[in-house]
Amino acid sequence: MRSNWLPYFVSILCLSTMLRAADAPKRDDSASEKLGIKLSLQCYTYRAITFFETVDKAAAMGIKYLEIYPGQKLSPASTAKVEWSSMSDAAIDEIKKKLAEAGGLKLVAYGVAAIPPKEEDARKMYEWAKKMGIEVLVTETKPTEMHDKLCTEFNIKMALHNHPKSWPPDEVLAACKDRCPLIGSCSDTGHFMRRGLVPVEQFKKLGARVLHCHFKDLNDYSYIKDATHDKDGPGVHDLPWGTGKGDAKGMLTQLKAQGFKGYTSIEYEFGSVKELDENLPKCIKFYDETLTELAK
């Protein structure tokens, strides 16, 4: 007898979940869209789960733009991974279908990933990016005339990402000196802090070369000379935006002041999935409220 109630119980549970989702407040990102400073999610934040699961989480939080990274498993039911050089047409179709079903989310960036040194190989990467709708390739590859040519041809940006020991602003500016405007910085504010650099000052220094951003707010500056991209100094970690020492409001204010138009990706390198689920909505709330104030 009890088993006969199971379908009804499941139906009621699903209906309850749907009603709670429908009653959840909708995100107001109108100020973000107006200013052209758009919020994306670097999927590396949810590296403990699959890309499809990450899409669902982004959609539930009202995030419309995604930055994908190489190596994330595609879905619980698949062995495929997100990787430009090995992704099948079937996997690409699966991704596009999933994004459409989740409400029309859009892929906007890919990285951090090396760009091949030979033009014929690099061209394949740009062709893949174009097929996926990607606007920014985030990399640590040193730009050359070849990248000028491909960025211009495909209208895709090449953004040099700084880890604590790579691509400080002065080196980015030197490398971009004779390059086209589509080549510049993916400014990782957390890694600025890990290097002992003040994010707002680095935005000012880089100016129009800031093309993309991994936006973070840490509880402290690291100043550790041997810091790597995945190990912080003692006790240094991500916090919800506006609660750390990075001056998150000042960063957004500076981006607006220098005419930045592009994507600021949430990227956490700290915390369990449960903690991320708790902290990311706080970041989004801070972001939307700050941009609403800046849009006045």
Q: Is residue 44 domain-resident?
A: yes
Domain that holds residue 38: 27-294
Using 50, 70 and 90 to split pLDDT, how confident is the model at 4? low
Q: Is residue 93 domain-resident?
A: yes
Using one digit for the tens of pLDDT, what is the confidence trace for 194-205? 999 999 999 999
Write out the two tokens for 242. Answer: 């506006």
What are the residue ranges of helices labelled H in the chain?
Answer: 6-23, 30-35, 51-61, 89-101, 119-132, 145-154, 169-176, 189-194, 199-206, 248-257, 273-294
Q: How many domains does the chain have?
A: 1
Q: Is residue 75 domain-resident?
A: yes
Count other C-beta atoms under 10 Å from residue 229's C-beta: 17
Are 65 and 263 spatial neighbours (Cβ–Cβ below 8 Å)? yes
Does position 221 have pLDDT exceeding 70, yes or no? yes
Does position 155 have pLDDT exceeding 60, yes or no? yes
Does position 145 have pLDDT exceeding 70, yes or no? yes
Q: Is residue 246 domain-resident?
A: yes
Does position 10 have pLDDT exceeding 50, yes or no? no
For residue 137, report the phi and psi dihedrals to the nearest 5 degrees: -100, 115
Domain at 140, CATH number: 3.20.20.150
Q: Is residue 204 domain-resident?
A: yes
Residue 238: closest CA among 187, 195, 286, 190: 190
- At residue 223, the pLDDT reads 66
Which is higher by pLDDT, 131 or 270? 131
Q: Is residue 19 domain-resident?
A: no
Distance CA 138, CA 135 (A): 10
Model pTM greater than 0.85?
yes
Using one digit for the tens of pLDDT, what is the confidence trace for 250-291? 999 999 999 999 999 999 998 999 999 999 999 999 999 999
Identity of residue 267: E
Q: Is residue 276 domain-resident?
A: yes
Are 225 and 242 spatial neighbours (Cβ–Cβ below 8 Å)? no
Are 282 and 241 spatial neighbours (Cβ–Cβ below 8 Å)? yes
Identity of residue 195: R
CA dihedral 237, 188, 52, 280 (to 10 degrees): 50
Does position 83 have pLDDT exceeding 90, yes or no? yes
Least confident of 5-9, 48-52, 235-239: 5-9
Does position 209 have pLDDT exceeding 80, yes or no? yes
Q: Is residue 81 domain-resident?
A: yes
Does position 8 have pLDDT exceeding 50, yes or no? no
